[in-house]
Amino acid sequence: MAKKDKIQYALNFAADALSLLVSVVIAWAVTDKGLHVLLDYTRQDWGQFILILLLAFVVVYAGFNGAARLTRRGWKAELLHCARNTVLLGAALAVCLLLTKATLLESRYLYVGLLTANAVCLYLSHMGLKTYLNQYFYKGSLATLVGIITTSDRAPALIHDLKHDWTKKLQGLVLLDAAKPGAQVDGVPVAAVYEDALEWIRREPLDEVYVNVPYQSGDSLRPLLSEMESMGLCVHLNVTVLEPYTAAARKEEQWFPKLQTTVETAGGVPFVTIMATEHDFGAMVLKRLMDIAGALVGLVISVPIIAVTAIPLKLESPGPLFFCQKRVGLNGRIFRIYKLRSMYVDAEQRKQELMKQNKMQGLMFKMDDDPRITRVGKFIRRTSIDELPQFWNILKGDMSLVGTRPPTLDEYDRYDSHHKRRLSMKPGLTGLWQVSGRSNIQDFEDVVKLDVAYIDNWSLGLDVRILIKTVGVVFKRTGAE
């Protein structure tokens, strides 16, 4: 994590923890001292409640803190964020209290009062912290003093971004192509030009220097870089060959690889990472834990449903109960997917003769009134019962509760390069495509767009929303054929 991210994460955690502590005190004071509706609980009861509350708080904060976006949210977005986190905290607290059968579970007034106070305290603490970070932090002694060495055409964009980093205080600018110092660029003084750059760096208090120059200027700056290295300065040097991979350079493209913040050394050579999307490790761990819990519950629920469905399915079409097929998962990994068989046993052999009736444009097959599907198969497809065995795939780790649709091997063999982008997360039992009217989407490129949108904007909150929408889609029987 960068310095800004570390400080912001720590301060956001402290603000949220303090808000919760104040909320507990307010809720206790109102319900006990004000309304006199709180029962006489023991210290042990209160100790148990506080531990459970802390557990719920840590789980919610780890998955939904939003600390990285704190200083960029407006007041409306902040209000929604605090309301969402309070609802999630209430849900987590309720589940923990029920599972532990805690004594304070019966205190509804305390529960409601705590969540109400937390929503208000959380919002006020976030707005106060945001004001402090954006307006005052860079003026203090903890701010990083920054100098810039660049050219006139590159200076505005770099200054704009650095000004939005509240941990940095811009001390001055060295313009290599300027005739003399004294001017300003977006409020930052041009303190030196090429001839007196080293003298300015030596006398100016600086912690970091950003060097952003075109490739032609690189060799001439080597003596200057060596001097800065000898001073012990932190130097950020642009890598011209990687500039085409930035978001600004590819803003018209739908998806593209992005530069990550780490540099790895192997064989004595530095490597900068280029990848499409980097997800928070802690959030991905929580996603996997949610998958395991969901898969276990899903398997328990599925067993009686599959047992009842098996009788008419086997009577109509002799053959195996389960359909097993090789599919392509995370980044091209091959795995076996399990479904209840909804087609006749010769379905795969008959697929080629039906390809002319494919209503999908691109690399997926779908047709109206597919003759390979049995009558029972049509029912279990409409109700998504045929998907229930995939809870086993989720438990094994081949799939996730929410993800993208895993392609077949023949579909994958015909993929263009950008299509594989949709496999950069585990395939899911449900996903954004499934809850977006999948039967009405007839162009494979539209499926890819939805999958990429899910991957680029992924969060645990998005997974929860898709799961809730999936329940509605299943009960309404919309979007499935």
Q: Which two tokens stand for residue 63?
A: 């998955």
The answer to whether residues 317 and 453 belong to one domain is: yes
Comparison of pLDDT for 359 and 443, the residue scoring more: 443
* Domain span holding position 61: 3-135
Q: What's the whole-number mean pLDDT along residues 191-195?
A: 90
Q: How many CB atoms lie within 10 A of CB 173?
A: 25
Q: Is 130 inside any structural domain?
A: yes
Residue 391: pLDDT over 90:
yes
The confidence score (pLDDT) of residue 313 equals 82
Same domain assignment for residues 78 and 153: no
Is the pLDDT score of 351 beyond 70? no
Secondary structure (3-state) at 252: coil
More confident residue, 48 or 357: 48
pLDDT at residue 293, rounded to an integer: 93
Mean pLDDT across the chain:
82
Choose the final residue of a domain: 111, 135, 159. Answer: 135
386 in Cβ contact with 347 (< 8 Å): no
Q: Are residues 328 and 428 part of one domain?
A: yes
The residue among 210, 205, 190, 135 whose CA lies nearest residue 166 is: 135
pLDDT of 309 > 80? The answer is: yes
CA–CA separation, 390 vs 395, rounded Å?
Answer: 9
Q: Which two tokens stand for residue 347?
A: 């379905």
| pLDDT at residue 346 in the model | 60
Tokens 């540099």: give the residue: 263
What's the distance, CA 53 to chain centroid?
25
Number of structural domains found in the chain: 3
| pLDDT of 260 above 70 | no
- Looking at the structure, tell me whether residues 232 and 300 fall in a common domain: no
Could you tell me if 125 and 18 are in contact, meaning their C-beta atoms sit under 8 angstroms apart?
yes
pLDDT, tens digit (0-9, with 9 covering 90-100), for 361-383: 555 556 566 667 788 878 888 78
Q: How many CB atoms lie within 10 A of CB 26?
A: 18
For residue 357, being part of any structural domain is answered with yes
Helices (H) and strands (E) in the chain, counts: 14, 12
Final residue in a domain of this structure, among 78, 107, 135: 135
- Rounded to whole angstroms, the Cα distance separating 184 from 143 reads 22
Encoded tokens for 348: 């795969």
pTM assigned to the model: 0.55
Written as one string, the DSSP assignment of 329-369 is -GGG-EEEEEEE--B-TTHHHHTGGGGGG--SBSS----TT
Do 64 and 189 reside in the same domain of the chain?
no
Q: What is the pLDDT of residue 69?
A: 79
Residue 246 belongs to some domain of the structure: no
Same domain, 174 and 206: yes
3-class SS at 479? coil
Mean pLDDT of 194-202: 87
Residues 38 and 158 in one domain: no
Residue 119 and residue 165 share a domain: no
How many CA atoms are closer than 13 Å to the CA of 361, on its beta-carbon side? 6
Residue 386 has pLDDT above 80, yes or no: yes
